[in-house]
Every structure is written in C-alpha cells, then in structure tokens.
Structure 1
Amino acid sequence: MTTDKGTTTGTPATPPTTAPDSAGGPRTLAWRRRRASAARFWRQYRTHRSGVAGLAALLLFALAAVTAPLLVGSDVDNVTDAPGSPLERPSSEFPFGTDRFGRDLFGLVIWGARVSLLVGLLAAVLSVAIGTLIGVTAGHFRGWYATVVMRVTDWFLVMPTLVLAIALATVMSRSLVTIVVAIGVTTWPTTARLVRAQTLAVETRPYIERARALGGGHWHVMSRHVLPQVMPLVLAQTTLIISAAILAEATLAFLGLGDPTGVSWGGLLQDAREAGAVSAGHWWYLVPPGIAIAVVALAFTLCGRAVESVLNPRLGVSR
C-alpha cells in the first residue's frame, strides 16, 4: 500500500529470531566434547590388555579397601582380643594365617589396603602438583628464575629420594601426614623436568604468540593454553608416581617410620621382621603383604604405560 507521500506501508517487518541452539548452549557443547573425548580415550585404552588387567586389579583392591569395615570389621587390628593363636598357619578359618598377636592376616591385609592406597594417592598428587607448578612456571618465565629453580631440581634429582624421605620422616612426627609430605616433597623433580620440556615446546606454537598479541597475560597463557596441553603428560606421570609412592610408604613403614597407630602393608612386613618370620620360616607372615604391594605397584605401572600409549601413540608401548 502506497501513501500520498510516496512511502510504502504494510505489515511491520518481524525482527529475525535466533534459531534455537541445537547443541543446547556452549556449556552443553563443551560437555558433549568432553564425553566424546572420554569415550574415545576408553575405546583406545581398552585395546591395551595389560592396561585393562591393571585397571581391573586396582578396582578390586579399591573395592576391598572401601568395604573393609564390612568385610573384616573395624576391630581387626585389636591385639587384646585376637581371634586366633599367635603364628597359626593358613587354614579354612584364617586363609592367610595369623600374626604374632593372633590377629587374622587376611583382615589385616584388607585393612592395610586403605592406608597404603590412600598414602600412595595423596603423595602422588602432592608430588605431581609441585612438579607441575615448577615445570610450567620455569618453562614460561625462563631467565634467572628458571635457572635457579632448575638447579634446585637438579640437586633433588642427584640426591637419593629414599634418604631424603627418611630424613624428613625422622625429624617430623610419625603420622600419615608425615609420610605423605616426606614422599611428596622428594619425588617431584622428574615431573618438573618433563613438564618444563613440554611447556617449552608448547610456548613455541603460533597460538601462544597470538594470545600474547591480543593482550593475554602470564596467568592467561599458562592456565588457558599451556596447562591444558601438558595435562595428558601430568595424568600419565601421576599413575606412574603412585606405584613409586606406595613402594616408598612400604619402605618407610618397614623401617619403623610409618604411622604406629595404623595398619599398612609395610607395617605388616615390619612386624614380621620383628617377629623373626624369616629365620623361623613363617612364610605366611611375609608373603600376603609383599604380594599385595607388588601387585598394586605393577597394576599402577601397567595403567600408566597404557595411558601414555593412548595419549602419545608414538611411544609404541606394547599392548
């Protein structure tokens, strides 16, 4: 319809409407990508038979540790009301035999999984956190800071880790926190070296230069661009360090530097040594906790190698 002024009138134009986001929004899209990435990771991981076997063993030990109060009771470490006689051989009543106090070794091994796994996990997390922080900052800032930090790292690398852990556990009070700190602050240098090398490689990529040109600061570059690229390496390193942390906890407990109020696999070996199990031929006192330590350490190592192979196929880890 045309008016006398030469203008055209009609139905007002409807403003364009935005089509609904089929993905449900940026967050939904991000979660879908993460789920797809996790599904892709699992499809590749399960092709590694050794990694699947290690994961199955870890799940079995974790289930036993979580359900220990239901499986063996919460008074399994009571020395005043032991259910059996001292140093009984394995039988239908006591599958692993009894210790020098008459306690059921099967229940002690199950209960000891709680302490050994907890200490291994916490010590590994602390070690990887320290190593990642030092590695990322040393690779990003460089200069005198990187020189000083890496010289300190080299000093920790050449020093025997077990000796440093023993020294820390000796001067501090005997507790689980002491064991975690002693292991965590002495095993981080390897992670720091690996993360720094990966950070230096990431910092040379073009998108890092674009981020800096657009005004991205140090924290933005490290947290948004560098850290996500080094996280796969950190994840693989964590699984490998856990096995070393469990062995270190067992060693410290065997030397009498563990928590005297808790039951751990290393503490059981230390009790067996004090009871003269080796010279007396009480093999059942030594074998169960020793096998448990070896199996869990091997399982974490297998999982770590499988994770490395999935995240970096060029490693060519055998399946």
Structure 2
Amino acid sequence: MKAKKGPVPLSRIKLIGLSILSLFLVMAIFAPIIAPNDPRETRTPYQPPSQEHYLGTNDIGQDILSELIYASRVSLTIGFLAGLISVTIGATLGILAGYYRGGMEELVMATSDVVLLVPGLPLMIILAAYLSPSMWNIVLAVGLLWWCSTARVVHSRVLQLREMPFVEAARSLGGGDGYIMLNHILINTKEIIYAKFALAVASAMLTEASLSFLGLGDPLNISWGEMIHFAFSRGGFANDMWWWYLPPGLMICACVLGFVMISMEPERSQKALEP
C-alpha cells in the first residue's frame, strides 16, 4: 500500500483568522471611505451614541467611530513592522546559530537567555520612556526585544535540518553555506517563521496597547491603545462612557485573536491509500 500525499488544506480556524484579519485590513486601507466623519473634526463633546454619531463623541467632540476606524491603520502598522523586525532578527540569528554551531550558537543562545530573563514589559516601558513617545520608537523597542523566542525555535529546527541527507548532498556537490542556508534551510523553516511572525504581530499590538495606555504612545498617531488611554485620562471610565473605551478594546482582542488563529498548525489531510 502506498500513501498518496495531497496538499495540506487550511484549517477552519485559520480560515476564520484570515477572514477576521481581512476585515481589519480592508477597514484600514479604505478608512477614508468607510469612516462617516473626519476624525479631526470637532463637534459637541461627550455625546452618547446616536444616529449622527454611532459611537458618540469624545472629550473634544471628535467622532469616536471615525477615530476607531482610522486608528486601525496605526495599530496594524506598529504590529506588522515590529513583528517583521523581531522575526527577521530572530530567524537570522537562529539559522546562523543552528547551522554554524560552536561560538555563534553559544553567543546567540546566551544572549537570548539573558533577554528572556529580563521582564519584557518593564524593559519596554523604560526604553519607550527614554526614547520619548513616538510610533517609530515603539516599533523599535518592541521589535528589538521580541526576537528571542523566534531565534530559539528556528535554531532547534535548523539543528535537525543541517544533518538531513539533502543538505549533506548539497554540501558534497559544492554548495556554499549561503546557498544552503537560503535554498534549503530557510525554505524548510518558513512554516515556523510564518507562525512566529503572526504571534509576534499579535504580541506587538498588545505591547503597544499597554504602552499607549500608560501614556507612552504617540499622541499624534492615535491607535486603539491610545484611544483607551484618552478615555481613561479624560473621564470616559469615570463617566461610564462604554462607547469610548469598549470598542477599541474589542478591536484589539479581535485582531490579536485573528493573528493567533492563523499561527496555529494546519490540519493534516487524511492520506488516501492506493494499492
């Protein structure tokens, strides 16, 4: 009996996650078309939800729904850029450490152990405060501190791949280290890297929301976390204005859930047996 291998289908969970993220991407890209008002336009402050303002207005009279839609651009941009930086650093160091072993491996693993021992959020708070509130500073702070788990997972995978017959064959045929790492090692670790990237984006969005809530975000680029910070500091929580602080919180939760869903392992298709 011979196993017939077919393509691995996307799991139902992944499809749901992709659908959620597609909605957020469409909302971010077409924000000027979807938003009912200009988020910078000011009207009567502290208005409850109505037909004119579906989520009411904030303390300076800005339409909260429009601000929520435009804030998706900032939150997703910070998440994607920080996730890209962290995964690029982690995957590169993990591949180098796993392939070359020796001193490179000891250096990368020891550095990741030290970074993992330091509490992440307090360190990011210190860096964000030191670098001054800015969207790009948050991206750098989060991206430069979230690479350790990616490096360790990729390193473990590369340790298996470097001893595989196809790598030995490429090496015996004269393939250089760079060629082997790009065309054999990297290709066979892409699923792990994709999953770690999705998780890194989700972690970056949560971290950005935490920093913004503490007042370390960029006030000139309103994100969902910054909206919750303003609601907390300007009377939204005290006056029980749920339409101000609850929607951005739900947006963060839904977006992070979507990234976590697409990072899950795909379901293996059943193998059809043929004589």
TM-score (norm 1): 0.79
User: 2:125, 2:211 within 8 Å by CA — same for their partners in 1?
Assistant: yes
The residue that corresponds to 1:309 in the other structure is 266
Matches of 2:253 and 2:167, distance apart in 1: 44
Q: Does 1:267 align with 2:226?
A: yes
The residue that corresponds to 1:209 in the other structure is 168
Q: Does 1:184 align with 2:143?
A: yes
The residue that corresponds to 1:198 in the other structure is 157
The residue that corresponds to 1:26 in the other structure is none
Matches of 2:38 and 2:243, distance apart in 1: 21
Matches of 2:180 and 2:143, distance apart in 1: 27
Matches of 1:99 and 1:163, distance apart in 2: 30
Q: 1:66 aligns with which of 16, 22, 29?
A: 29
Q: 2:251 aligns with which of 292, 308, 311?
A: 292
Q: Which amino acid is the alignment partner of residue 197 of structure 1?
A: S
Q: 1:276 aligns with which of 228, 235, 256?
A: 235
- What is the CA-CA distance between 1:74 and the residue it aligns to? 8.2
- What is the CA-CA distance between 1:139 and the residue it aligns to? 0.3
The residue that corresponds to 1:159 in the other structure is 118
The residue that corresponds to 1:6 in the other structure is none
- What is the CA-CA distance between 1:73 and the residue it aligns to? 7.0
Q: Which amino acid is the alignment partner of residue 191 of structure 1?
A: T
The residue that corresponds to 1:114 in the other structure is 73
Matches of 2:20 and 2:167, distance apart in 1: 41
The residue that corresponds to 1:53 in the other structure is 16
Q: Does 1:232 align with 2:191?
A: yes
Q: Does 1:172 align with 2:135?
A: no
- What is the CA-CA distance between 1:279 and the residue it aligns to? 2.4
Specify the SS of the correspondent of 1:246: helix
Q: Deviations over 1:208-229 (max 9, x none)?
A: 1222222222212211211111
The residue that corresponds to 1:30 in the other structure is none
The residue that corresponds to 1:147 in the other structure is 106
The residue that corresponds to 2:273 in the other structure is none
Query: What RMSD over aligned residues (CA atoms) do the two structures have, in Å?
Result: 1.9
Q: Which amino acid is the alignment partner of residue 82 of structure 1?
A: T
**Greater shift in the superposed pair: 219-228 or 183-192:** 219-228
Matches of 1:164 and 1:230, distance apart in 2: 30
Q: Deviations over 1:248-297 (max 9, x none)?
A: 11111111111121111000000011113222212211111011111111
Q: Does 1:82 align with 2:39?
A: no
Q: Deviations over 1:292-312 (max 9, x none)?
A: 11111111111111xx225x7
**Greater shift in the superposed pair: 254-263 or 127-136:** 254-263
Q: Does 1:136 align with 2:95?
A: yes
Matches of 1:242 and 1:187, distance apart in 2: 10
TM-score (norm 2): 0.91
Asked which structure has the greater RCO (Cα within 8 Å, sep 6+), the reply is 2
Matches of 1:73 and 1:285, distance apart in 2: 16
How many aligned residue pairs are there? 265
Superposed structure 1 runs of 4+ greater than 3 Å apart: none
User: 2:37, 2:66 within 8 Å by CA — same for their partners in 1?
Assistant: no
Q: Which amino acid is the alignment partner of residue 146 of structure 2?
A: T
Unaligned runs of 5+ in 2: 1-5, 270-275
- What is the CA-CA distance between 1:173 and the residue it aligns to? 3.5
**Structure with max Cα Rg:** 1
